[in-house]
Amino acid sequence: MKVLHTADWHIGQLFHEYDRTYEHHQFLDWLLETLISEQIDVLLISGDVFDLSNPSASSVKMFYSFLNNAVKGNLNLQIVITAGNHDSAARLESPKPLLESSNIHIIGLVEKKEDGSIDYAKLIIPLKDKDGTTKAWCLAVPFLRMGDYPVIAEAGNSYSAGVAAFYAEAYNSTCANKQANQPIICMGHLHAQQTDMTDVDQSVERAIMGGVECIGAMAFHENIRYVALGHIHKAQRIGGKDHIRYCGSPLPMSFSELNYKHQVIVFDLEEQGISNLKAIEVPISVPLKRVPSVHSTLTEVINALQQLPAAGSDLQSAPYLEVRVLLDGPEPGLRHKIETALSGKNVRLAKIDVKYPVAADAGNTTATVSEDNLRELQPQDVFAKVYQAKYNNAVPAELLQLFNQATQEVAQTVAE
């Protein structure tokens, strides 16, 4: 069977306040063509279908229109979808009874039996050929929240131990259903150990509690042929193993991904393992652009922006622009000056990244102030130190005069 692994679509996401509907449409249209051209039998979507737990009606329509077109274009295609941490598990599962008649399986919730034990059978999906014969099994595990996994009280890290126990018990349950010649693959939406993360992963998808939510590759049984992971947006192998992978997000999530190739993973699933594994690059419909390539003075930045090409008629595909400026102090009119320089240009201003000169000894010493000295400090002393630390320059006389005026007015108001 030929399998395609994708994840982290984040339909409905805004990129620096710009709507990404056009980009998601372009990706989904490309994916429809790829499913046919690669003759895919099984499509795995490992979580974070939507960016918000309460997606807009247009986002929901886009997703289910894709599912409808996918099964129409390939009547034998099976689709397995799991919920990510951004998805509402119950909302994602709501059309489940209707979709299963079309070989579309959605797993959002970890269900329990009457005795409170985990119902692993609800997570096990048979993968069938065009004749309806079960050829393999998929263990479809969504993002695990507290209460979804066994509690291992004696473990030093109860989360990682509980998740490992969950996968072990789920694997054993799958083995009880399968025949000897039927391989097992599994899905997960989690943070694996030693992952290479983008800045968005670190700020949005970061592990909590000092990294205790990191799962090791050993959590997955060695006989599982492929582990299709989602959650981290950069494609990579886990634990040096080719069969345990993040496929990454199909769209750029930050400017740090300027030169990064987004992809889906395709492989042949066989009884003894996988073969012909390859990454297929996802075309970028809206590119990212940085001007200048390094932080430069405002004069140099304005000159560079004025050299950009004029806007065309197709504004929805105009690049997202990050402007990189090096300043030696505050610049209140910065955005207006940049927007003026960009008037009529074929870019969309997404971010202004400002840097200031760094003092040679910055970060090498930590100043401490005693309680008595703290009482002796005047507001203008604190202001001068903060300004110097941020801009590596003395406070301009005009700005210091305004600050002193403001502090005098505050003092007078308090006295009254």
Could you tell me if 140 and 209 lie in one domain? yes
pLDDT at residue 159 in the model = 85
Beta bridge partners of 268: 2, 275
What count of other Cβ atoms lies within 10 Å of the Cβ of residue 178?
A: 15
pLDDT at residue 204 in the model = 55
Residue 360 lies in a domain: no
pLDDT at residue 209 in the model = 39
Domain with 377 in it: 371-415
pLDDT at residue 229 in the model = 97
Which residues, including other chains, have CB under 8 Å from residue 116's CB and lie 6 or more apart?
none
Residue 128 lies in a domain: yes
pLDDT at residue 133 in the model = 92
Residue 138 lies in a domain: yes
Could you tell me if 336 and 317 lie in one domain? yes
State the DSSP H helix or E strand holding residue 295, giving kind and residue range, or none if neither: strand 288-296
The whole-model pTM stands at: 0.85
| Residue where one domain finishes, among candidates 266, 281, 296 | 281
Q: For the chain of 416 residues, list the mean pLDDT of each consecutive stretch of 10.
A: 97 96 98 97 97 95 96 93 94 86 92 93 94 94 91 73 93 91 95 73 50 79 96 92 95 92 96 94 96 94 96 89 92 94 96 81 49 66 79 80 86 76
pLDDT at residue 386 in the model = 81
CA distances from 167 to 84, 95, 142, 174 (A): 17, 26, 11, 10
Could you tell me if 142 and 185 lie in one domain? yes
**At 266, is the secondary structure helix, strand, or coil?**
strand
Could you tell me if 148 and 69 lie in one domain? yes
Residue 105 lies in a domain: yes
Could you tell me if 248 and 314 lie in one domain? no
Distance CA 286, CA 275 (A): 33
What count of other Cβ atoms lies within 10 Å of the Cβ of residue 109?
A: 17
The residue behind tokens 């994916």 is 31
pLDDT at residue 362 in the model = 47
pLDDT at residue 208 in the model = 43
390's tokens: 């941020």
CATH number at residue 151: 3.60.21.10
